Structure 1
Amino acid sequence: MVTEVGTLMSKLPPPHGKSAGLAAVIGFLAGGIGLAIYFRNIIDLLLPLGIAIVAVAILGDPGWLAGAVLSAIYGFYRVVEAEGRSDAAGHVSMTNRATA
């Protein structure tokens, strides 16, 4: 399942100018709804929401906390993975511009 999520994330439009830390906080506090608003993409609502529903179904009541943590990880990884794709494609990021 993790590889499928990674494959899907690589097909999503890159979140230009987004902060990985802020995405993690939004994912933890607001889940998929917050991430969908932050990234402006409906898939960013459906994936974390699906993960949270599965976590609640498997773990019961503590599943909401697991869903929040997994949504935070998803938001963080979504930004980091997109930045990695951008750097691998030869784009100069804002942090590497001084050294380029």
Structure 2
Amino acid sequence: MLIVTTGYIALREKTTFAERENAYQTILAAKQVQNDEAALKASQQFFQNEPFLSKDERMVQVIKIYEESLVRWVFQQPEAQLKQADMKYLQLYKELQKTATVQEK
């Protein structure tokens, strides 16, 4: 049972790392061309694929890019009105702020 569990964790970490790396590269490319919505979507992928065993040092950088992209993206929306489907970006921002506050303590 221990071997199966260890194998599962190792496979999950490898898959998570690949998906997170892909999202990270997409974030950097989107930032380069100031495609804020693409940066927001890729950031969601990045945060949804948290590593199980280790800490990702890129987290602070991705949070910063996410915050900058979110501010620009919101101001680009017509009459600053967001659709219900777009509220996911603000919800993720709130969750990131809670996480950052807990990590500072």
When normalised by structure 2's length, the TM-score is: 0.29
- Report the structure, 1 or 2, having the larger helix content: 2
Structure of greater Rg: 2
State the TM-score, normalized to the length of structure 1: 0.30
Q: Which has the higher contact order (CA 8 A, sep 6+)?
A: 1
